[in-house]
Structure 1
């Protein structure tokens, strides 16, 4: 896997808000796959990599932030919309 590339603070803030609100998200990964689940928290490793912890139907998953392409809130009342995290 490629070395971790930190995402911008603005984009990180969107993820933090999603976690604080425990939003159900559809997450699009840079490889084209999609994952749905509830945003729980963000996690940092000693190697300075950051992950979105998501509770999905398959259990809890940690998705590396630089592998996220976009997130979209599935909770209609959230007003969160779709946020593109990578180009």
Structure 2
């Protein structure tokens, strides 16, 4: 697997809000789209971060640097479509 690339802090804030509010999201990845409810963010021992979501297929964890964009589908969401661009930080940061 490729090394984890840290995402921008403002994007992380949107993801945290989506989890707190339980937003239904359209998640765009390089392999397709997922419609699911945001559950939680987790950090693994290797510092990689994941968004856990739930839909009819069950729960799944999506590595944050594999997400291209998120769009809340929940009415009255506090943000609209957010494009996720990993930052170019070294592993020493």
TM-score under structure 1 length normalisation = 0.92
RMSD over aligned Cα atoms: 1.3
Q: State the match for 2:6 in structure 1.
A: 6
Count residues in correspondence.
86
1:42 matched to 2:48? The reply is: no
Q: What is the TM-score with the length of structure 2 in the denominator?
A: 0.86
Residue segments in structure 1 that go unaligned for 5+ positions in a row: none
Deviating above 6 A after TM superposition, structure 1's stretches of 4 or more consecutive aligned residues are none
Structure 2 residues without counterparts, runs of 5 or longer: 87-93
Cα shift at 1:61: 0.5
Between Structure 1 and Structure 2, whose CA radius of gyration is higher? 2
SS in 2 for 1:77: coil
